[in-house]
Amino acid sequence: MSDSPGKLKLGALVALVVGSMIGGGIFSLPQNMAASAGVGAVLIGWAITAVGMLTLAFVFQTLANRKPDLDGGVYAYAKAGFGDYMGFSSAWGYWISAWLGNVGYFVLLFSTLGYFFPVFGEGNTPAAVIGASILLWAVHFLVLRGIKEAAFINLVTTVAKVVPLALFALICLFAFKLDVFTADIWAVGTPELGSVMNQVRNMMLVTVWVFIGIEGASIFSSRAEKRSDVGKATVIGFVTVLLFLVLVNVLSLGVMTQPELAKLQNPSMAAVLEHVVGHWGAVLISVGLIISLLGALLSWVLLCAEIMFAAAKDHTMPEFLRRENANHVPANALWLTNAMVQIFLVITLFSNSTYLSLIYLATSMILVPYLWSAAYAVLLAVRSETYEQALAERKKDLIIGGIALLYAIWLLYAGGVKYLLLSALLYAPGAILFAKAKREVGQPIFTSVEKLIFAAVVAGALVAAYGLYDGFLTL
C-alpha cells in the first residue's frame, strides 16, 4: 500500500483494539460469570486473567518493536519461530475464531432485538437468520469501499459503545451493596458450581473471549502510520477494556446475588440496570449493545480479511487470497470469510447453538495462535536475538514471555478436552489450503516434524467427528 493515504493513526489503532475487544461479551458478562463462579472465584479469575493478558499485551508490544519486518501479528510470529505449518495453523485458527465470533455476535444482536421484536427470539429463529444475513452482506459491501473508511466508522461506534458502559458503572457504583457482595463469597450455597479451583477454571474461557482482539493492532501493523504506535495501541486498549470489564462484573455482584445473576437472560447487563433504575435502564443497555455489536462486527470483518491477506502475501495461504480491489481491500479473503459466516448462520437454525457455545468454540480456536506468539517471544530472548546490546531488557522480556506462555498453556487446560477435539476438527481441513500454497511456490508440503503434528491433528479430528456422530460430543 502507498504511504500516508490510507495509513492508520494511533487513535484508529486504539479504536481497533478497543472496538474488537468490546463487542458483545461485556454486555453478557454478569450472567456468563455468575453461571460458572461465585464472587471469590471471580476475583481470583480476574487476577489471573489480568496478569496473563497483560503479559500477552506486552508480548505483542515487544514483538511489534523487535520484529518490525513481520507484518500480520499472531500468525507471522508462529511462522518465524516454528515453521510454515505452525504459521499457517495460527492464521487458519485465528481466522476461524474471528468469523465464528461474528456468527456469535449476529446471534446475540438479534437476541437483543428480540427484546423489542419477539419474532427474533433468541437470535436463532428464521426471521433472525434472514435479518442477520441481510446485515452481513451490508457490512461486507461497506468494507469493500475501503479499510480507512471502515476504520473511521469503527472509531465512531467505539466512542458510542463506551458511553452506556460508563453510565452503567456509575449507576451501579451508587447501588452497590456490600452485604449482597459478601453474602456467599465462595458460593457454598451453590454446590453445583464445584470447588473454587473448578469455578476459576470454568470462568477462564469467558475471560479470554472478552479479551480477544488484544492483538488487533498488530494484525494491522503494515497499515499503521508509525510502527511504534502498534505496541502503544495494544497496551492502552488493554488497560481501558480491563477496567471496564472488572467494573461491570464486580459491581453487578454487589447489585444482585450470584444465583439471581446466573438465571438472567442475555444481554444480562440490561437486566441488572433494569433492577436498579427500571425499564429505561434495559433500553439504554440494549441500544448500547446494538451499536457495540455493529461496531465489533465491522472490526472483526476487517480482521478476518486482513489475516488471510497478510498470510497470502508471504505464500502461507494460496495466491487467490492476495487479490485487492481498487480500494486496497483484500476482496477474495472478504468473500471467503463472509461466505463461511453465512453458512454457519444457517446451521444455527438446525443446531441449538447458543451464543455461549459459539464463543467457547471461537475462544478455543484462538488459544493456539496466542500460545505460539508467547513461545516466539521466549525463543527470541533465549537466543538473544535482537537483544545484542540490551541484556537487562532480555531478562525482563524472558520473564514476561515466560508468564504469557504459562498462561496460554493453562488456558488450553482450562478449556478442556472437548474444545481441544472440536478445534482439531476445524484445524484439519485447513491443510488443503496449506498444500495449495506450498504447491504454488514449488515446495514440499510438510517437513518430517510437521507430518507428525499433522497426524496428531487428524487423529484428534477423527475422534471429534466420531464424538459428534455418536453424541458424546456436542457443539
Distance from C-alpha of 244 to C-alpha of 473, rounded to nearest angstrom: 35
Check the CA dihedral 195-201-205-206 and report its sign. positive
| Whether 400 contacts 62, CB under 8 Å | yes
Give per-residue burial for 412-433: e unless 16+ CB within 10 Å, then b: bebbeebbbbbbbbbbbebbeb
Q: How many helices (H) and strands (E) does the chain have?
A: 19, 0
pLDDT in tens, 151-193: 777 778 887 888 899 999 999 999 999 999 999 999 988 888 9
- Average pLDDT, rounded, for the chain: 89
With respect to residue 470, please indicate whether it lies within any of the assigned structural domains: no
pLDDT in tens, 396-421: 999 999 999 999 999 988 888 888 89
pLDDT in tens, 183-216: 999 998 888 899 999 999 888 878 888 888 787 7
pLDDT at position 3: 46
Task: Check which CATH number belongs to the domain holding 171 and give it.
Answer: 1.20.1740.10
pLDDT at position 2: 39
With respect to residue 432, please indicate whether it lies within any of the assigned structural domains: no
Locate 128 and state its grid cell.
433472525
With respect to residue 471, please indicate whether it lies within any of the assigned structural domains: no
Q: State the DSSP H helix or E strand holding residue 286, giving kind and residue range, or none if neither.
A: helix 279-313
384 by DSSP, 3-state: which?
A: coil
What is the residue range of 398's domain? 8-419
With respect to residue 225, please indicate whether it lies within any of the assigned structural domains: yes
With respect to residue 455, please indicate whether it lies within any of the assigned structural domains: no
With respect to residue 115, please indicate whether it lies within any of the assigned structural domains: yes
With respect to residue 459, please indicate whether it lies within any of the assigned structural domains: no
pLDDT at position 140: 92
* Contact residues for 398 (Cβ-Cβ < 8 A; gap 6+): 378, 381, 382
Low-confidence ranges of the chain (pLDDT < 70): 1-6, 73, 147, 352-354
The number of angstroms, rounded, from the C-alpha of 230 to the middle of its chain's C-alpha atoms is: 18
Distance from C-alpha of 71 to C-alpha of 64, rounded to nearest angstrom: 9
Residue 415 dihedral angles phi and psi, to the nearest 5° = -65, -30
| Whether 56 contacts 373, CB under 8 Å | yes
With respect to residue 136, please indicate whether it lies within any of the assigned structural domains: yes
Q: Indicate the number of domains in the chain.
A: 1
* Contact residues for 236 (Cβ-Cβ < 8 A; gap 6+): 14, 17
* Contact residues for 24 (Cβ-Cβ < 8 A; gap 6+): 104, 105, 108, 109, 267, 289, 292, 293, 296, 355
pLDDT at position 167: 94
pTM of the model: 0.87
